[in-house]
Amino acid sequence: MISHKELFLRNNAQTSTNPNLLEVDHAEGMYLYDKNGKSYMDLVSGFAVSNIGHRNPKVLDAIRGQLDKYLHLTVYGEFVQSPMVLFAEKLISVLPGQLDNVYFVNSGTEATEGALKLAKRYTGRSGIISCHHAYHGSTHGALSVMGNEYYKQKYRPLLPDVRFITFGREEDLGMITTQTACVIMETVQGEAGIRVASADYMQKLRAKCTATGTLLILDEIQAAFGRTGKLFAFEHYDIVPDILLLAKALGGGMPIGAFIANREVMGALKENPILGHITTFGGHPVSSVAGLASLEVILEEKLIDGVAAKEELFRELLVHPAIREIRGKGLMLSLQLDSFEQVENVSKRCAVDGVIIDWFLHCETALRIAPPLIITEEEIRKACAVILKALDN
Ligand code: PLP
C-alpha cells in the first residue's frame, strides 16, 4: 500500500525540496506523537501558534460547544455572530483604549493586507515603510513589504512606493515623512532570527509616526499572547500602535487573524466605497470560540508569569562553544550558530532524540526556540540537554 508520505509528496503541492516529513499521529500539551508512539517535545509551537500547548481541553470544549450551534453562516460583517462579538469584546478589554475595533480575518498575511489597505485609505497617502529582513506574510501586499529580495524577485512588479529601513537604526527614522501612509514593523523581528530593538528606538519610532501623521502598524502575529513575557510585545516599550496585527496564537490552534485599530480609523473601510475589505470566512465561529477560550486560559492560568524565569533558565543552560549568541525576549529565542549545515544537523539530531527545533526564513544560521508557554522547568532541562548533546556531535 502506498504510504501517506509518498502520497504527500505526490499529491500535495510542495514548497521545498526537503520537507521535514514527520508524520504526526496526535498531539497533546507539549508533545507530538508519531505513528510508532514516539514522542517529540515541541520547541517550535507550530511556529508560534500553540502558546498554550496542543489540544488544550478548554479550547476543545469551546469548539465542541460551537459545533452544536453553527459553522459558517455568511460573509464577514453582516450577521451578528456571538463567537466573534464576544472574542472582540475580550480582546478590546485587554488592549489599550486606543485599540477598540477588531476586524477578524483568517490568517496573518490577510491581517497585513487589511492593515496596509486601511492605512492607505485612512491617510490618503501611498508611501509604506518596512524593515530589512521583515516578514509579514506571503501574499502580494505582504510580499511587497518583505525585507528579503531573494523571496520577492520572481514576483515583481509588487506594490510601488515601499521603502526599507533598518530595524533598530534611529538615523533611518528620518525617512518617515508626511508622505508616508504607514510604517509596518514586527515589534520583535521573528524570521530575521529574533531581533529586539531598544525601548528608546521604539519610542522614537512612535513619536516620529505621530509627528508625521503616519500610522504605526505593529505586527505581533508571532510575538503576541505572552510569547515575549507580556501579553502583547509593545507593552515592553510603553507605546501603542495605531494598528495591531494578530494571528497564529490568536486562535488557540484554529486559523484566525485580526487587524485592530481605533473605531475612527477603522471607519474608513465602511463607506465611499463600502466594503473596504471583504472576507468570507473572517472570524469563523469555531475559530473565534477557540481563540476566546485560549485567551482565557492564558489569563486565568497566568501562563505569562513564568515566561521570564523560563527564558533565564534557557539562557543559563544553553552555554556551548558553538553558540555564538542567544537573542530574543521571553520564549521567543534564537541560538546563533556559524552555518546552515550546523543548524540542519543539530535540528535532525534533536528530532532523533525527541525534540523539535527549527530555523528562520531570513536567518538560516540560527536555531529557533519557541516552546509553548506551558513548558516546565524539567522539560527545559531535558530539551537543553538534547540540544547540547547535538551540538557536541
Ligand atoms: N507576520 C509575522 C511576523 C509572521 O511571523 C508571519 C508568519 O510566520 C506572518 C505575518 C504571516 O502569517 P500567516 O502565515 O498566517 O499568513
Domain co-membership, 27 together with 69: no
Judge residue 181's burial from the number of C-beta atoms within 10 Å of its C-beta, 0-12 exposed, 13-18 middle, 19 or more buried.
buried
Q: What is the mean pLDDT of residues 275-303?
A: 98
**Domain count across the chain:** 2
* 199: pLDDT strictly greater than 90: yes
| Atom 10 (ligand 1) nearest CA | 136
CB 83 within 8 A of CB 223: no
pLDDT score of 149: 96
Q: Beta partners for 103?
A: 259
150 shares a domain with 268: yes
* Domain edge (last residue) among 247, 275, 300: 300
Query: Is the domain of 70 the same as that of 217?
Result: yes
CA of 136 to the centre of ligand 1 (A): 5
What is the pLDDT, as a whole number, of residue 393?
87
Q: Is 186 in the pocket of ligand 1 (CB under 6 A)?
A: yes
pLDDT of residue 92: 98
Residues 200 and 273 in one domain: yes
Ligand 1 pocket member 146 (CB < 6 A): no
Q: Which cell is 227 given?
A: 510569547
pTM greater than the 0.95 cutoff: yes
The verdict on 96 and 156 lying in the same domain is yes
CATH number, residue 110: 3.40.640.10
Claim to verify: residue 161 and residue 251 sit in the same structural domain: yes
Residue 392: pLDDT over 90:
yes
Which residue's alpha carbon is nearest to atom 7 within ligand 1? 137
CA 209, 331, 371, 225 dihedral sign is: negative
Range 275-298 average pLDDT: 98
Q: Is the pLDDT of residue 223 over 90?
A: yes
101 and 194 housed in the same domain: yes
CA of residue 216 relative to chain centroid, distance: 17
Is residue 364 within 8 Å of 345, Cβ to Cβ?
A: no
In this structure, the answer to whether residues 276 and 315 fall within a common structural domain is no
User: In this structure, are 307 and 341 located in the same domain?
Assistant: yes
Which pLDDT tens digit goes with each residue over 318-344? 999 999 999 999 999 999 999 999 999
Q: Are residues 44 and 84 in the same domain?
A: no
Q: Which of 248, 332, 361 to mutate to test the pocket of ligand 1 (most atoms within 8 A of CB)?
A: 248
Q: Pick the last residue of a domain from 300, 332, 363.
A: 300
- At residue 95, the pLDDT reads 98
Distance of CA 221 from the midpoint of ligand 1 (Å): 6
Among 251, 277, 300, the domain boundary falls at 300
Is 176's pLDDT higher than 90? yes
Q: How far apart are CA 102 and CA 99, in angstroms?
A: 8
pLDDT tens readout for residues 23-80: 999 999 999 999 999 999 999 999 999 999 999 999 999 999 999 999 999 999 999 9
Whole-number Å distance between alpha carbons of 392 and 321: 9
Q: Which domain holds residue 12?
A: 4-56+303-392
127 and 28 in one domain? no
Residue 329 near residue 15 (C-beta atoms within 8 A):
no
- For residue 47 and ligand 1, the question of a CB distance below 6 A is answered with yes
274 and 141 within one domain: yes
Tell me the C-alpha distance between 273 and 103, whole Å: 17
- Computed over every residue of the chain, the mean pLDDT equals 98
